């Protein structure tokens, strides 16, 4: 039997230790009269493991799955299955989700790999709007969804840690629960993503559900509202459909995105019905203990293959009064949002350029120290939506955004992960597509201010869509 046919995780699993952890959790569940999590982490001797590819190879058709990478950082996270799911929330969905996650982990029996990061991790995301995601194609991704996977695999540069999770209840047979958990481990395979040679005779069809003129008109109305003093900025988005001759393969789309955007947060949130994939340049929030990091990102222009032209475009962006004003709205709102929960908030004085494959942005890093314990999910709720994807003031921008006539679903919402210490990171879901069979729903948006040119803003959405469309056409 070849190495690819043997579970890459099995060698690190001590089945007797797994049974002991489960026995403790079942005993605790009997005493507490409620379900208790059993979680075991093991080190895996596989420094070359492609976590994402292995998740795509190992997933079962009926399973949820999650992949997260920032290739340049050396971090990869892959998750399979659902030991527990947090969804169907009312009120403040971020605070409610954070509370539910903490409740599940309370009194858990957790055995972590000594000296290495690991342990149970939550993965998932949130729709842009609490009432979003009602369109049929968003049906498997509700407005709030955090999943505690059956298996998670975390790789930080050369270190690989696998975690298996099981929810134990009073009366469970510990050996049966441990066997079921071990079976999930046994089913995990190391893999690679195959190269695809698209059929040149069958080019995908690209459609716009609403005519481009509709978007141009919406931008003009938004601009006029800013000029009239009704608001400072509004972000408007549009949707483009790509219809292929065969179902899109999430693994191939994800692989194309991470290869083309190694500095971005590359993600795939998968369900049995659909896959939400993207490569976002924008960090919404990262929590490491009491330290919070985020980035104000707004204002963009295209790239050029000519280095001199590329530098000229970047300098012109840095000096653009229109783009600088739009950017400052975002940076100031982020600072104001963090101040009530922080000891201090610090932002860079001037924005820098962030360059990805086909576009460059103005970006200002912002850091803060928490004054009170808030999880990364809570912090995502504090910051979302920033004016980079919503508007300022938000209550007025929200009304203008109805002109989009678009269910954004998870587009521009927070996607990411949180560990058992409530650290983690969420990005803003940009440069993304929802894949359903042979149809891909793609999204792009622009910030509208007083100096916006509607035709130029339409052209900017085309630039933002270009990289994603290129990957889809090749998939």
Question: Which residues participate in catalysis according to the annotation?
Answer: 233, 282
Strands (E), 149-227: 151-156, 159-168, 205-207
**CA angle 334–312–354, rounded 5-degree value:** 30
Judge whether 252 and 435 are in contact, CB under 8 Å. no
DSSP-assigned letters across all residues of 38-73: EEEEEEE--TT--HHHHHHHH--TT--EEEEEEGGG
DSSP-assigned beta bridge partners for residue 364: 296
Measured on CA atoms in the order 204, 209, 214, 220, is the torsion positive or negative? Answer: negative
d(C-alpha 2, C-alpha 66), whole Å: 26
- Number of C-beta neighbours around residue 271 at 10 A: 16
DSSP-assigned beta bridge partners for residue 434: 276, 441
> Which of these, 416, 463, 126, lies nearest to 303 by C-alpha position?
463
Residues 6+ apart with CB under 8 A from 219: 236, 446, 448, 452, 454, 457, 458
Q: Give whole-number Cα distances, 319 to 29, 144, 352, in Å.
A: 61, 39, 11
**Phi/psi of residue 270, nearest 5 degrees:** -110, 145
d(C-alpha 281, C-alpha 339), whole Å: 24
């Amino acid at each position: 039997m070849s190495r690819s046919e043997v579970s890459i995780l099995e060698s690190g699993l001590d089945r007797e230790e797994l049974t002991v952890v489960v026995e403790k959790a079942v005993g605790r569940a009997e005493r507490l009269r409620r379900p208790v999590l059993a979680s075991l982490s093991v080190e895996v001797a596989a420094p070359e493991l492609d976590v994402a590819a292995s998740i795509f190879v190992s997933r079962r058709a009926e399973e949820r799955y999650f992949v997260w990478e920032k290739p340049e950082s050396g971090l990869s996270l892959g998750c399979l299955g659902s030991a527990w799911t947090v969804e169907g929330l009312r009120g403040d969905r971020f605070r409610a989700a954070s509370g539910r996650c903490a409740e599940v982990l309370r009194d858990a029996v957790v055995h972590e790999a000594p000296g290495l990061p690991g342990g149970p991790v939550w993965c998932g995301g949130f729709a842009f709007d609490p009432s979003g995601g009602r369109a049929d194609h968003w049906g498997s991704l509700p407005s709030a969804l955090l999943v505690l996977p059956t298996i998670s695999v975390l790789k930080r540069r050369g270190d690989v840690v696998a975690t298996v999770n099981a929810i134990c209840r009073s009366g469970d047979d510990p050996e049966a629960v441990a066997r079921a958990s071990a079976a999930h481990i046994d089913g995990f395979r190391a893999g690679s993503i195959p190269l695809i040679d698209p059929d040149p005779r069958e080019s995908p069809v690209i459609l716009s559900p609403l005519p481009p003129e509709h978007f141009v008109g919406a931008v003009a109305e938004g601009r006029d509202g800013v000029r009239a003093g009704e608001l400072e900025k509004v972000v408007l988005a549009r949707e483009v459909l790509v219809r292929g001759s065969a179902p899109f393969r999430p693994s191939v789309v994800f692989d194309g995105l991470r290869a083309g955007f190694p500095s971005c947060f590359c993600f795939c949130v998968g369900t049995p019905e659909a896959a939400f994939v993207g490569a976002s340049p924008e960090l919404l929030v990262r929590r490491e203990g009491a330290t919070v990091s985020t980035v104000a990102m707004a204002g963009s222009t295209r790239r050029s293959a000519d280095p001199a032209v590329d530098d000229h475009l970047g300098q012109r962006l840095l000096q653009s009064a229109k783009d600088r004003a739009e950017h400052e709205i975002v940076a100031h709102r982020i600072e104001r949002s963090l101040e009530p929960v922080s000891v201090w908030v610090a932002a860079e004085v001037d924005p820098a350029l962030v360059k990805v494959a086909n576009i460059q942005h103005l970006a200002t890093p912002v850091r803060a120290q928490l004054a009170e314990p808030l999880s990364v999910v809570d912090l995502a709720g504090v910051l979302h939506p920033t004016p980079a994807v919503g508007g300022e003031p938000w209550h007025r921008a929200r009304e203008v955004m109805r002109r989009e006539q678009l269910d954004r679903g998870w587009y521009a919402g927070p996607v990411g992960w949180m560990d058992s210490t409530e650290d983690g990171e969420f990005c803003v879901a940009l440069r993304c597509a929802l894949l359903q069979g042979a149809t891909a729903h793609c999204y792009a948006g622009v910030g509208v201010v007083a100096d916006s040119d509607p035709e130029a803003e339409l052209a900017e959405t085309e630039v933002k869509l270009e990289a994603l469309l290129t990957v889809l056409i090749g998939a």
